Amino acid sequence: MPSYTAPLRDMHFVMHEVLNVQEVFKSLPAHQEIDQDTIQQILEQAAKFAKEIVQPLNQIGDKEGCTRHDDGAVTTPVGFKEAYEQYVQAGWPALACSPEYDGQGLPVLLNTVLYEMLNSANQAWTMYPGLSHGAYECLKAHGTPEQKSLYLKKLVSGQWLGTMCLTEPHCGTDLGLLKTKAEAHGDGSYAITGTKIFISSGEHDLGQNIIHLVLARLPDAPTGTKGISLFVVPKYLPNELGDISAQNKNTLSCGSLEDKMGIHGNATCVMNFDGACGTLVGEPHQGLRAMFIMMNAARLGVGMQSVGLTEVAYQNSAAYAKERLQMRSLKGAQAPDKVADPIIVHPDVRRMLLTQRAYAEGARAFAYWVALMIDIEQNHPDPNEREANADLVTLLTPIVKAFITDNAFAATSEGLQVFGGHGYIADWGMEQFVRDSRINMIYEGTNTIQSLDLLGRKVLSDMGAKLKKFGKIIEAFIEKEGVRKEMAEFIDPLAELADKVEKLTKEIGLKAMLNHNEVGAAAVPYLRVLGHLVYAYLFARMARVALDNKKSNDTFYEAKLATARFYFARLLPETASQIRFARAGASSLMSLDAALF
């Protein structure tokens, strides 16, 4: 059975030594009082909850799955409900929610660290509260006063949970094709009719109520995405006081559970809305704009799912490699008192482990950095600071989602490979990490969609303005650190890649003016290149801190430097091939007639 221990030392390193979060928090009125001791206490409690309560349920949930009953009700695997009750009693749902709605008002960054731990422990279970937080954010931003009064405190407390209902059988990413309809009752409410598929946490037994955020069309809606409205549709209709009863069950139900490859402990539902009563969120025909708050939160959340899986897969494969005896080192026996050497002596096993480690540490630094920028965007008193950080979050969100999840699938696969034949056997838990990680590249917008969003909407649409802001951050770092000889091995490749990204972006932009397919042909490799630019910048920052502490005799910094050097030597060179792919153009992809496939 796999195990998990939160990497608290590395978490504190990223927050306090790389990102200097305490100094940042001092500039944010809402978080000025948060100190390192407070952060440490929260993380220690979160680590204990993840390890002792949630992680032991991971394999149980995978093997047992969810059960749909004849009446449409769904029960989660053994232990899931009890673990969620403990989660609620401990106040975890309220961690980063506004005190106005009985939240604790703590930074998004701390919520992000919490979710890394929970996802390492049990991604399927963590999806239930994770989606609820997204529903809270959406209603807080776009809900009516009545909706906020009815729903937000219950979502913050964890008594009620939330979902988002977008996809339909005939449309996935192309939401402009959706057919679910909404008809006015005449009293301010609407009858919602349609079928949604792939709805994570659509029906379950964890909380008292489930609040569905549903995209649908009004009768006078224009075609396409401009005709989509958003509705809040609860499983049980609350009265004016917010009370619910079984007699007020809404006309919606789980038609079936998807039989899927992974995340078996989460109920992925086909949801039928049969004239279900809902209320409009935001303005008519502006639902997609309102839903983007939840969708973007979900994309960042999926990135955190993959940070978690990368870390837990690494921990277990590293432990196995230190114990498993196979053959002798090419240099001669390293454990002469044993019948064979542990496999960690072999260079390619080291490559697999270091790949996992580098992707885990790079992803953690990236995700925490973006979360901190969200805190600045939401709380800084200077509007220019808020805008600058909002632009960076907008640019980096598709990279968080796609780059981290691509790397996680590679990392979990490497972890399985370290185990050899045992990795293919369910008891060790590695094959579950591979299966669970694969969905993260698909849902909340496939990684190709994220790549198109990055290149088309986030880079080319504003003539690279947001990308230039990121470029200035890198440029300032290079100018500051480039004078230090010991930093040359990190600064030189970072500067070289930054220059290549600037040239590549201009080249694709010019090509796209003549043929829009050039964007589609270049988007996926372009995101890989930009993802590596982010990681190269962050690994250079981490290496600088490690070098500053080299004389401390703390082996943590020694390991950090070794990982950074591995990243620059073995993973960053991928950018050379990806740049060539991006430059290859659309002709080799589009010249073959579709009938010949």
Which residues are identified as catalytic? 444
State how far the Cα of 286 lies from the Cα of 204, in Å rounded to an integer. 29
What single-letter DSSP state applies at residue 150? Answer: I
State how far the Cα of 127 lies from the Cα of 119, in Å rounded to an integer. 8
State how far the Cα of 352 lies from the Cα of 328, in Å rounded to an integer. 18
Contacts for 519 with CB less than 8 Å, ≥ 6 apart: 452, 455, 456, 460, 508, 512
State how far the Cα of 208 lies from the Cα of 77, in Å rounded to an integer. 17
Which has the closest alpha carbon to 88: 187, 171, 155, 137?
A: 155
| Total Cβ atoms within 10 A of residue 562 | 14
The three-state secondary structure class of 479 is helix
- Please return the burial class of 51, using the count of CB atoms within 10 Å of its CB with bins 0-12, 13-18 and 19+: middle
CB 243 within 8 A of CB 288: no
Torsion of CA 470, 472, 476, 481, to 10 degrees: 50
State how far the Cα of 272 lies from the Cα of 301, in Å rounded to an integer. 26
Q: Which ranges of 27-101 does DSSP label H, i.e. alpha helix?
A: 36-49, 58-64, 80-89
State how far the Cα of 104 lies from the Cα of 222, in Å rounded to an integer. 41
| Beta bridge mates, 210 | 161
**Residue 243 structure tokens:** 């009370």
Over the range 408-431, which residues count as b (16 or more CB within 10 Å of their CB) and which as e?
A: bbbbbbbbbbbbeeebeeeebbbb
State how far the Cα of 437 lies from the Cα of 262, in Å rounded to an integer. 8
Beta strand ranges found along 332-483 (DSSP E): none
| Beta bridge mates, 230 | 215, 281
Which has the closest alpha carbon to 256: 81, 62, 65, 74?
A: 74
Contacts for 487 with CB less than 8 Å, ≥ 6 apart: 481, 540, 543, 544, 547
CB 176 within 8 A of CB 316: no
Which has the closest alpha carbon to 135: 182, 101, 175, 169?
A: 101
State how far the Cα of 192 lies from the Cα of 189, in Å rounded to an integer. 10
The three-state secondary structure class of 148 is helix
CB 387 within 8 A of CB 419: no
| Alpha carbon distances (Å) from 591 to 522, 526, 588, 595, 597 | 16, 21, 6, 12, 11
What single-letter DSSP state applies at residue 77? Answer: P
